[in-house]
């Protein structure tokens, strides 16, 4: 069967859905997603979106933090573009119905702004510790109101369709162009052809190539693989970010303990109760993710222990339950009361800093093919992504 639209979006996270909403004003949009429409890395994001909203903060501070965290390999023009565009895009999410947590600490923005590793200021807007779920909920509701958008759940994109493949008889066809994708319908056990004027890869990363990861099962890197097979330029695939604090428990498959826990005073400790991060970085437990993850790995190799501990108990029961309801409840199900007990944590594969090489507009080196979000490599992240810059990049 063949499906034709103006825009074909592969993926249903924040990048794919926010693009689809905008594009639906210009033409018809088909969204293909391999499982349920809410199953994406976005849905598992706890921390929030890094964005300059407070008068005590500045674009220059956010830019500097991003460049430092990226170990000198960020593209500064991209960083400036994304950071400066951020406030308008994030406030647009609020207008679309995302219920961000309001201010408790006197932020001039009116929103509660958290702080995470590598940030010099509080600038992470969030919906308690369930930001991803709240964004997915609001975007799906908004998508449902757009008559020009159709979602195909349980459909897996197999390969991109190139113009040169269709016109084999015309050797050296130029310029190369992407015409659509072959998509496997899981329920019907059939392969369909999806054609469109513009194809948008928003398939996320590939964390599931690692045994220990914070990513859901759907994060298998198929978008990058399809692009590679189609001759699309790929960059920086060696830069896999490991999140320092994944819950260590035999029954916990891939549960992230948000960096916001450390932003609110959580301290990383060894099994003997001693803090150790100050020996590795002046920002201590709030150092950039690569520094913290490597420090934990080093300490575990020295001690032979299976995990380290994250202690937030000193913040008190009421604060913890209100600020981190999702983490509190999930840990409780594993028999850990984070209001009175330290959390066992280990580093886990978390985010792909590389991907499909694109410009500021998401355009790849093949006409008609764009890439947005984690599947792309815009130059924003360099060798290591600054905390909560991922959702920012996706929505910008």
Same-domain check for residues 248 and 211: no
Same-domain check for residues 346 and 359: no
Q: Hey, what long-range contacts does 272-276 have (CB within 8 A, 24 or more apart)?
A: 273/309, 276/308
Same-domain check for residues 16 and 86: yes
Helix pair angle (131-144, 14-23), 10° resolution = 30
pLDDT digits (tens, 9 = 90+) for 290-345: 899 999 999 999 999 999 999 999 999 999 999 999 899 999 999 999 999 999 99
The mean of the pLDDT values for the chain is 92
Give the confidence band of 240 by pLDDT, cuts at 50, 70, 90.
very high
Same-domain check for residues 170 and 34: yes
Give the confidence band of 47 by pLDDT, cuts at 50, 70, 90.
confident
Same-domain check for residues 10 and 119: yes
Q: Is the peptide bond before 392 cis (omega within 30 degrees of 0)?
A: no
Give the confidence band of 100 by pLDDT, cuts at 50, 70, 90.
very high
Q: How big is the chain by its Cα radius of gyration, in Å?
A: 21
Please check the confidence at residue 40 and state whether its pLDDT lies above 80.
no
Distance CA 317, CA 299 (A): 29
Q: In total, how many domains does the chain have?
A: 2
Classify residue 34 by its DSSP letter: S
Per-residue pLDDT, 45: 66
b/e code 177-188 from CB counts within 10 Å (16+ = b): bbbbbebbeeee
Domain at 178, CATH number: 3.50.50.60
pLDDT digits (tens, 9 = 90+) for 253-288: 778 898 889 989 999 999 999 999 999 999 999 898
Per-residue pLDDT, 36: 72
Per-residue pLDDT, 35: 79
Same-domain check for residues 361 and 303: no
Whole-number percent of the chain with pLDDT over 70: 95
Domain at 335, CATH number: 3.90.700.10
Q: Quick check: 333 and 326 in contact, CB under 8 A? A: no
Same-domain check for residues 256 and 363: no
Same-domain check for residues 181 and 89: yes
Question: Per the residue annotation, which of 115, 122, 289, 323 is the catalytic one?
Answer: 289
Please check the confidence at residue 174 and state whether its pLDDT lies above 90.
no
Helix pair angle (76-95, 59-69), 10° resolution = 120
* Domain containing residue 28: 1-235+353-396
Same-domain check for residues 299 and 363: no
Same-domain check for residues 297 and 158: no
Same-domain check for residues 106 and 39: yes
Mean pLDDT across 97-113: 83
pTM of the model: 0.88
Same-domain check for residues 145 and 264: no
Active site residue 289: yes
Whole-number percent of the chain with pLDDT over 90: 80
Please check the confidence at residue 202 and state whether its pLDDT lies above 90.
yes
């Amino acid at each position: 069967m063949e499906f034709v639209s103006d825009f074909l979006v592969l993926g249903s996270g924040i990048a794919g859905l926010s693009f689809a909403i905008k594009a639906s004003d210009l033409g018809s949009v088909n969204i293909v997603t391999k499982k349920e429409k809410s199953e994406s890395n976005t849905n598992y994001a706890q921390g929030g979106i890094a964005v300059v909203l407070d008068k005590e903060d500045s674009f220059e501070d956010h830019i500097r933090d991003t460049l430092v965290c990226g170990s000198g390999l960020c593209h500064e023009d991209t960083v400036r573009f994304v950071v400066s565009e951020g406030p308008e895009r994030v406030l647009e999410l609020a207008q679309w119905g995302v219920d961000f947590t309001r201010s408790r600490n006197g932020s001039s923005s009116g929103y509660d702004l958290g702080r995470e590793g590598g940030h010099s200021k509080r600038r992470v807007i969030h919906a308690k510790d369930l930001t991803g779920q709240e964004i997915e909920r609001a975007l799906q509701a908004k998508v449902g109101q757009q008559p020009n958008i159709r979602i195909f759940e349980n459909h897996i994109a197999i390969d991109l369709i190139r113009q040169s493949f269709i016109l084999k008889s015309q050797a050296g066809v130029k310029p190369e162009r992407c015409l659509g994708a072959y998509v496997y319908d899981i329920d019907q056990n059939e392969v369909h052809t999806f054609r469109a004027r513009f194809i948008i890869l928003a398939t996320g990363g590939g964390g599931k190539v690692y045994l220990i990861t914070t990513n859901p099962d759907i994060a298998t890197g198929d978008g990058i693989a399809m692009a590679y097979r189609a001759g699309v330029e790929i960059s920086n695939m060696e830069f896999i970010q490991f999140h320092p604090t994944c819950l260590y428990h035999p029954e916990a498959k891939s549960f992230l303990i948000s960096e916001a826990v450390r932003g609110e005073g959580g301290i990383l400790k060894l099994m003997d109760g001693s803090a150790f991060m100050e020996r590795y970085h002046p920002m201590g437990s709030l150092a950039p993710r690569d520094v913290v993850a490597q420090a934990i790995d080093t300490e575990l190799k020295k001690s032979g222990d299976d995990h380290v501990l994250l202690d937030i108990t000193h913040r008190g029961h009421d604060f913890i339950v209100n600020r981190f309801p999702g983490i509190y409840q999930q840990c409780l199900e594993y028999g850990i009361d984070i209001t009175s007990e330290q959390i066992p944590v280990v580093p886990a594969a978390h985010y792909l800093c590389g991907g499909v090489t694109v410009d500021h507009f998401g355009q790849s080196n093949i006409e008609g093919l764009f890439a947005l979000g984690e599947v792309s490599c815009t130059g924003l992240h360099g060798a290591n992504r600054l905390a909560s810059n991922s959702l920012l990049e996706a929505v910008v």
